[in-house]
Amino acid sequence: MSNNSSSKNFQQNTKLLNKSQHLIKSFHISPFISLVYKNDIGDNIQRVAFSNVSQQFYICCADSKINIVEYATGERLYTIEADSNVTCLSLSSDDRFLAVSCKSGQVTIYSMKQQKALKTFRVGVSSPVIQLAYSPDDAFLAMAHGDGSIDIYYTPTTQDESTGQPALLKLLFTIKKHHQGQIHLMKWIDNLWLASSGLDGAKVMQIGNEEDESRPYKIIASIHDNRNDIRDVTLLKEHDTEDNTKPIYLMTAGHGSLYQFKWNEKNSTFNLSNTIPIKHYFSSMIEITSTENDSFTLIASTPVKKKNNLVRITVKKPQVSDKKKKKDEDDDDDAVKIEYIPEKSLVGLSQLFKLSDSEIFAITIDSNFAIFKRKENEANGDESAKAKLKKKLSKKEDVTEVASKGVLFEKVGQRLGFNDDVLDMSLFSSRNMLAVATNSENVTLLNLSDANQDPIEVSGHSEMILSLDRSKDKDQRYLVTGSKDKSIRVWDVSKYGNTQGEEHVTPVSVGTSHLTGVTAVCVSNHKRKLKDSKEEDFFIYSASDDGVLKKWKLSDCSLLGTNSESHKKTVSEISVSPDDSMIATASADKTAKVFDTSDLSKVLFEFPHKKAVWCVKFSPVDKVIATGCSDNMIRIWSLKTGNCVKVLEGHDQSILKMQFLNNGAQLVSADANGVVRLWVIKTGECIKVFGDAHTDRIWAVSVDQKTNQLITGGEDSRINIWHDNTEEIKEEQREDVNLSVIQDQELRNLERQGKMKDVLRKAIELDRPKLTYTTIEKLVKTDEKTVLEGLIMELPKIHLMHLFQYCIDWNSNSKFCQIAQLVLKIMFDLVEPSFIDIAYEKSVDALSLYSQRHLKRITYLEQKSFILEHALNQMNALTPIENSSNVETLKSMPSKKRKEIDTSKVVQEPIQFKTVEVVDEDVEFSDQEGEFDEDGEEETFEPSTKKQKN
């Protein structure tokens, strides 16, 4: 189809309602959610550190970026870029230094105050460092390697007086093969006690050994258990006096058992005293101060999903009275009590940080963060819920009691860390809410004002959610989800923002008629009456991986229609026309189809493509639809003739998502490269390309049709909000034009007054390189170089750097290089070369290269000038009459007069030759006075008088 015919058909079949409306030409992109924390190495690898002093920030890493995040708001304060992907980190107890290990084998010590690297050294070349830990008094830094060895470094507190940096770390000793295999836990439980664990069990060593001075350490506790993975070690101490404490118990937790050790004062070691079997396992333990003086209280976490994740461990303290010692020995089995804490979180917890006795900061197994606060003595809680929980847990777990009073915690907040791939989104603009589907069976509800403040997870599906949509009513009350578990679900979100906890969302209905995963869902735009009923309701259209199309009633998910042969392959998207009379589907079978909503088996149009079709959208005002294909093209199809009336080309990868905006006058599209393009439908022109908003595939695009606010999400875990700033840019441009007019008038006034020095200074201040060049050129022509020299001496450094940059640009062109070389000579004669900033070092290299090229060119021209001089001298020597201006030429004389000329009276002087040395690549001259003829005799250049007479 030719361009003329396509344009003609497009004009006939489409008619924009708002032809003169405002066109969006630019967006301001603000990151809404980006990747903050990612733990893809292991549960126990230390990749998060919490502030020990102020408790106002926490540090987490994602790939090679180290993010410092404010605890109160979840806002990222600043980011440190590491050498490569970060494996582990550790923060000193005074919050001054941060030790970071990377996959490259490099360990770097950062200053938290200066936000820069202080020391860098390579220690993990053969075996990388996988664990780092500062001692509580910051005297030691322990490094665990992948081969099971541990390095102990001494970290002196002294600093270099000149730089203020800490002194160099000093390696005290190395324990090779401390564990048989990789160390997955390394933790200081006291200033001199370091606990570690691997697949061969757990060990606690003491720095220093009075019994054997040849060994710098001493093992004070160990347990060899290759069946149960020890995940945490906690030391329980009791105050002996007001100033001193003494160790009592050592608690270690793993997959199958909780081990209790008692302190032996005679041997200064820990001895195993009790083993408590558990079928679940604890990933982290912290001690909480309780009002009960006769026992210790520990709060542990379990990483198992869909269970209560906080566990309370009560450990009885040993009695001092000798009469009770024997009784305690008999009651060792009752000395440790394990209870579940009923709380609403269903996500497993991998690590706990104790902020205070009443607040806990936790890391979830899906790399997010949760906040728990303490509640005391709630004995009169919901007994029925506790009974149900106890009954549920007793089926599979060895739990004797559910905690109902004492130290209890409840989840009060959440922070986003790892958002995973964004697969789909639905914007609830009236509720200021965004529903996001990631690689999870849960939907995350985010507040558009602040995404970091308590995002809500909605659970119900058993497998990953693939698609989302919402009802189109004013209240935007319902959320519809389609999942890989072959079902669709309807949720009531009308209580969002008004209640606390899980009551934000209420499940409405479930549809389970699909045989494969539901890949696309869409809700009708208006409520419609059902057949043989006066009841009005929204309709849901869903499609699955096997190409089956279904129609549902929203309120109860009752099935209203099915088309089992709509497509041969996966349906990637469904779109409903503005009047709800048609639905369009995009499929991997290289077709897009339009069906009648009243009869799904009726195909109105079928649009073939060369490759898989990823997306399809109805125009909100025109009788056209747009399709995005894997052949990198967007096609506009007429719904009157079924013809392709426009093809939009420009993307380099498959178009994955698109949306109409600006009342259908424009289209925004996103591709697999993370590039977003903005199109004008009427002309088919791409007026803006956004290539740096995302770094990977964009799977989700949502638009608020009233405000033209755009939200995009993709495989890079980012969610960006786009605001139309076209008018703001126009206003800034108008202000710039007005300011430029005023500045030009000032410059003309100064030039009219003859104040060239002020003109030049003003031109440099306003960053006008062209005006600066013309002003300098005028000064050079009028021989006022002293004005230029005086100005250069007075210029501040920043303006001097501007002039230097101008000279670098001018010097790259032979037309302007003379002025550039003149200014550079004056600058280097009058100003110290140290004014050149570090940022211009590479430019200086380019400056020298261009200067050498100009010098070579001028030298070559000078050599050519010698050839011209030689030619002129030759021409002067062959001239027969000296004063040719007073003699008529032979051509202008009459014939009679030419005959009367007596040539014998004409006196000619011998030809004089001037020897000129010429150096040129292209011309060669002989050094001899004459040339040789064919006979080998030299032929002279002296004239023969006989020939002249004849």
The pLDDT-based confidence of 788 (bands split at 50, 70, 90) is confident
**Cα–Cα distance for residue pair 545/519, rounded to 1 Å:** 6
- Rounded to 5 degrees, φ, ψ at 122 are -105, 120
∠ CA 509-513-518 to the nearest 5 degrees?
Answer: 85
**Cα–Cα distance for residue pair 560/632, rounded to 1 Å:** 36
Residue 938: predicted pLDDT = 41
Looking at residue 286, its amino acid is: I
The pLDDT-based confidence of 5 (bands split at 50, 70, 90) is very low
**Cα–Cα distance for residue pair 343/397, rounded to 1 Å:** 17
Any idea what DSSP says for residue 126?
A: S
SS3 674: coil
Indicate if the pLDDT at residue 903 is higher than 50: no
Q: For a pLDDT cut of 70, what percent of the chain falls above it?
A: 81
Buried b (16+ CB within 10 A) or exposed e, 247-272: bbbbbbbbbebbbbbbbeeeeebbee
536-575: pLDDT as tens digits: 899 999 999 999 999 999 999 999 999 988 999 999 999 9
Q: Are 148 and 182 in contact (CB under 8 A)?
A: yes
**Cα–Cα distance for residue pair 108/892, rounded to 1 Å:** 95
SS3 786: helix
117-141: pLDDT as tens digits: 888 888 866 778 889 999 999 999 9
SS3 201: strand
Looking at residue 193, its amino acid is: W
Indicate if the pLDDT at residue 617 is higher than 90: yes
70-107: pLDDT as tens digits: 988 888 899 999 988 899 999 999 999 999 999 888 89
Find the helix or strand (DSSP H, E) in which 846 lies: helix 841-877
Separation in Å, CA 330 to CA 65, 236, 276, 278, 295: 54, 22, 15, 21, 17
Joined together, the tokens standing for residue 499 give: 């209640």
SS3 214: coil
CA 230, chain centre distance (Å): 36
Separation in Å, CA 312 to CA 337, 474, 703: 8, 47, 47
Residue 125: predicted pLDDT = 64
pLDDT averaged over every residue in the chain:
81
Q: Which of 5-9, 59-63, 746-750 has the lowest mean pLDDT?
A: 5-9
The pLDDT-based confidence of 735 (bands split at 50, 70, 90) is confident
Count the Cβ atoms, other than its own, within 10 Å of residue 556.
Answer: 12
- Strands (DSSP E) along 619-654, which ranges? 624-629, 633-638, 644-649
Residue 841: predicted pLDDT = 58
Task: Kindly compute the dihedral angle of the four CA atoms of residues 382, 388, 393, 399, in this order, to the nearest 10 degrees.
Answer: 50
Any idea what DSSP says for residue 166?
A: B
Find the helix or strand (DSSP H, E) in which 160 lies: none
SS3 854: helix
- Rounded to 5 degrees, φ, ψ at 792 are -65, -35
**Cα–Cα distance for residue pair 819/247, rounded to 1 Å:** 81
Q: For a pLDDT cut of 90, what percent of the chain falls above it?
A: 36
Any idea what DSSP says for residue 13?
A: H
407-430: pLDDT as tens digits: 888 888 888 888 889 999 999 988
Non-local (6+) Cβ contacts of 98 within 8 A are 49, 59, 66, 89, 90, 91, 92, 109, 110, 112
Q: Are 649 and 628 in contact (CB under 8 A)?
A: no
- Tell me the sheet residues that pair with 523: 540
Q: Are 187 and 133 in contact (CB under 8 A)?
A: yes
Q: Are 892 and 884 in contact (CB under 8 A)?
A: no
Non-local (6+) Cβ contacts of 353 within 8 A are 48, 50, 58, 286, 360, 361, 362
Looking at residue 438, its amino acid is: T
SS3 899: helix
822-863: pLDDT as tens digits: 888 888 778 776 666 554 555 667 777 788 888 888 888 888
Closest CA to 422 of 720, 698, 37: 698
Give, to the nearest 10 degrees, the angle between helix 797-811 and helix 769-781.
Answer: 80
16-63: pLDDT as tens digits: 434 445 789 899 998 888 888 888 766 667 889 999 888 899 999 988
SS3 20: coil
Q: Does domain 35-188 have CATH number 2.130.10.10?
A: yes
∠ CA 876-877-879 to the nearest 5 degrees?
Answer: 65
Residue 386: predicted pLDDT = 53
Residue 942: predicted pLDDT = 41
Residue 909: predicted pLDDT = 47
**Cα–Cα distance for residue pair 437/102, rounded to 1 Å:** 32
**Cα–Cα distance for residue pair 657/616, rounded to 1 Å:** 8
Indicate if the pLDDT at residue 576 is higher than 60: yes
Indicate if the pLDDT at residue 158 is higher than 80: no
Joined together, the tokens standing for residue 420 give: 């995973």
Average pLDDT over residues 607-630: 95
Strand-strand pairing, 257-264 and 269-277: antiparallel
Average pLDDT over residues 452-474: 88
**Cα–Cα distance for residue pair 44/316, rounded to 1 Å:** 28
Average pLDDT over residues 746-758: 81
Q: Are 663 and 18 in contact (CB under 8 A)?
A: yes
Indicate if the pLDDT at residue 242 is higher than 80: no
The pLDDT-based confidence of 500 (bands split at 50, 70, 90) is low
Q: Are 530 and 523 in contact (CB under 8 A)?
A: no
Residue given tokens 């259908």 in the structure block: 664
The pTM for the full model equals: 0.72
SS3 941: coil
**Cα–Cα distance for residue pair 594/577, rounded to 1 Å:** 10
Closest CA to 251 of 206, 307, 295: 295
Residue given tokens 């936000």 in the structure block: 115
Find the helix or strand (DSSP H, E) in which 394 lies: helix 383-396
Q: Are 65 and 718 in contact (CB under 8 A)?
A: no
Q: Does domain 1-15+23-32+617-724 have CATH number 2.130.10.10?
A: yes
Closest CA to 679 of 600, 758, 626: 626
Count the Cβ atoms, other than its own, within 10 Å of residue 503.
Answer: 10
Residue given tokens 């890391």 in the structure block: 363
Residue 948: predicted pLDDT = 39
Residue 586: predicted pLDDT = 96
Non-local (6+) Cβ contacts of 312 within 8 A are 297, 298, 299, 300, 338, 339, 340, 341, 403, 406, 407, 408
Indicate if the pLDDT at residue 2 is higher than 50: no
Q: Are 684 and 642 in contact (CB under 8 A)?
A: no
Q: Which residue has the higher pLDDT, 342 or 642?
A: 642
Indicate if the pLDDT at residue 364 is higher than 80: yes
**Cα–Cα distance for residue pair 814/122, rounded to 1 Å:** 49
Residue 150: predicted pLDDT = 92
Residue given tokens 């290269």 in the structure block: 849
280-330: pLDDT as tens digits: 778 899 999 887 788 899 999 888 776 678 888 999 988 755 445 544 444
Joined together, the tokens standing for residue 20 give: 């003169």
**Cα–Cα distance for residue pair 55/66, rounded to 1 Å:** 18
Average pLDDT over residues 862-872: 82
Q: Which of 288-292, 585-589, 882-886 has the highest mean pLDDT?
A: 585-589
Q: Which of 207-221, 524-538, 675-689 has the highest mean pLDDT?
A: 675-689
SS3 793: helix
CATH architecture of 424-608: 7 Propeller (2.130)
